[in-house]
């Protein structure tokens, strides 16, 4: 557990009473969780902890054997255990172990406890699990869940955040044909395509979503440039004819630039918040080059009435993100993921932000994971980080106890509620 002063512990308890709006999640439905009935090793079969395991030297063959093979649980644990010893101090692992400790009653994950933990997970895997963990234990009011397209979600727990990626990331005419089929439209021109984006945003707004997501950073630099319609029409026409070199070609970059601007225009017109993945890419070998939030500057200038949520605040380009949050009224800094990327670094950056950025520009938490136990553990870490930083500012006589709680309430609840129109 993170060491806290008595003042920080007091603040942590008070912050835990603030209903949290979880601004970035990948949780599935409770029924999916019950059907999966995971054991504890399944918690590590996820992009983040698995990336740590691979970084520690675990081979793909070992990953497959530990997580997806027909081997016995003990055989799988023996493969996993040497690498667990190398990653157990990382933020990803801490989120898991905090959940295990508080929800399952085990202080440590090791060879002596692993079967008992999995048995307890199975025992608790029954209807009501989400209400118990998310509502009663974690005090999460609502979770904004990322999805590839708009699908029904349980509104007791979730608010959807569908992606507009497919409308801006075009590899061939088959992508356009899929949009025609799924949206029941006919697309013969670039203008038809743009009109479809606008209609989709209006439909999603009417269906009550949190906003829209764009995650281009996994395939390109975040250097979107305004393009003219006249420049783009010939490219789009070649795409429809099958005479197009693909998304990652020079003409593909031009077309994508134009369509990203149109996606932002449509979202702004429909008053949908725009969430951009920025900074570090998940997994191994993904890197972070070209992922600074500074690349969104032209979009923020072009659409001053839009609301931009910098998911993960551009980590590790946190200062670049902070400059945008400080200077652009329409830019918000979302601490989703970064509490578990680097718990200590998150505290350092949060303290700088609070002295640099208006406090109503900061979203405290987004779990960015799948299992409710890890959501719980991650949120506990986020609350600890805020408690520690705010207690330091109180001790430096920059805040009072009451103003510190006002800041925490804004970050965990009020600002994400406003940003995502949550009543």
Cα angle value 303/304/310 (rounded, 5°): 80
Residues in contact with 102: Cβ distance below 8 Å, sequence separation at least 6, in sequence order: 137, 376, 377, 380
pLDDT digits (tens, 9 = 90+) for 248-267: 999 999 999 999 999 999 99
pLDDT digits (tens, 9 = 90+) for 270-280: 999 999 988 88
> Which percentage of the chain shows pLDDT scores above 90?
89
The answer to whether the beta carbons of residues 296 and 263 sit under 8 Å apart is no
Pairing of strands 158-162, 308-311: unpaired
Residue 39's pLDDT is 93
With 0-12 / 13-18 / 19 or more C-beta atoms within 10 angstroms meaning exposed / middle / buried, residue 327 is exposed
Residue 344's pLDDT is 94
Residue 1's pLDDT is 65
With 0-12 / 13-18 / 19 or more C-beta atoms within 10 angstroms meaning exposed / middle / buried, residue 170 is buried
pLDDT digits (tens, 9 = 90+) for 323-355: 999 999 999 999 999 999 999 999 999 999 999
| Higher per-residue pLDDT: 287 or 150 | 150
Q: How far, in Å, CA of 367 to CA of 381, rounded?
A: 11
Query: Is 221 a residue whose pLDDT tops 90?
Result: no
pLDDT digits (tens, 9 = 90+) for 279-301: 888 888 877 888 899 999 999 99
Q: How far, in Å, CA of 54 to CA of 44, rounded?
A: 11
Q: How far, in Å, CA of 192 to CA of 195, rounded?
A: 5
Which residue carries 């003219």 as its tokens? 228
Q: How far, in Å, CA of 336 to CA of 210, rounded?
A: 15
pLDDT digits (tens, 9 = 90+) for 19-65: 999 999 999 999 999 999 999 999 999 889 999 999 999 999 999 99
Computed over every residue of the chain, the mean pLDDT equals 95
Query: Is 69 a residue whose pLDDT tops 90?
Result: no
Q: What is the pTM of this model?
A: 0.95
Query: Is 78 a residue whose pLDDT tops 70?
Result: yes
Query: Is 2 a residue whose pLDDT tops 80?
Result: no
């Amino acid at each position: 557990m993170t060491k806290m002063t008595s003042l920080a512990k007091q603040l942590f308890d008070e912050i835990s009473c603030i209903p949290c709006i979880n601004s970035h999640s990948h949780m599935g439905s409770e029924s999916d969780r019950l059907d999966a009935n995971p054991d504890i090793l399944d918690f590590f079969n996820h992009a983040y902890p698995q990336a740590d395991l691979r970084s520690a030297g675990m081979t793909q063959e070992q990953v497959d054997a530990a997580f997806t093979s027909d081997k016995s649980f003990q055989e799988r644990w023996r493969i996993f255990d040497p690498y667990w010893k190398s990653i157990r101090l990382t933020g990803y692992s801490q989120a898991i172990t905090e959940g295990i400790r508080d929800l399952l009653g085990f202080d440590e994950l090791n060879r002596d406890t692993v079967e008992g933990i999995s048995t307890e997970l199975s025992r608790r895997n029954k209807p009501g699990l989400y209400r118990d963990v998310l509502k009663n234990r974690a005090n999460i009011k609502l979770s904004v869940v990322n999805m590839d397209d708009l699908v029904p979600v349980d509104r007791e727990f979730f608010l959807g955040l569908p992606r507009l990626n497919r409308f801006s990331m075009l590899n061939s005419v088959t992508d356009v044909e899929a949009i025609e089929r799924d949206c029941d439209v006919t697309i013969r021109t670039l203008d038809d395509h743009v009109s479809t984006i606008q209609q989709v945003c209006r439909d999603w707004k009417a269906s009550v979503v949190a906003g829209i997501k764009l995650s281009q950073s996994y395939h390109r630099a975040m250097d979107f440039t305004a393009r003219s319609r006249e420049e783009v029409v010939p490219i789009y026409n070649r795409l429809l004819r099958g005479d197009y070199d693909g998304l990652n070609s020079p003409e593909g970059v031009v077309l994508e630039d134009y369509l990203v601007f149109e996606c932002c225009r449509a979202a702004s017109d429909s008053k949908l918040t725009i969430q951009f993945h920025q900074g570090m890419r998940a997994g191994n070998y993904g890197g972070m080059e070209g992922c600074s939030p500074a690349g969104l500057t032209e979009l923020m200038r072009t659409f001053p009435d839009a609301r931009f949520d910098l998911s993960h605040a551009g980590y590790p380009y946190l200062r670049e993100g902070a400059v945008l949050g400080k200077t652009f009224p329409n830019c918000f800094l979302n601490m989703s993921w970064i509490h578990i990327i680097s718990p200590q670094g998150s505290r350092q950056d949060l303290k700088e932000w609070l002295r640099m950025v208006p406090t109503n520009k900061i979203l405290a938490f987004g779990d960015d994971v799948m299992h409710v136990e890890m959501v719980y553990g991650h949120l506990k870490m986020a609350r600890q980080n805020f408690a520690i930083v705010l207690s330091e500012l109180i001790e430096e006589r920059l805040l009072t106890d009451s103003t510190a709680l006002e800041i925490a309430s804004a970050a965990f609840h009020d600002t994400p509620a406003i940003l995502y129109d949550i009543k």
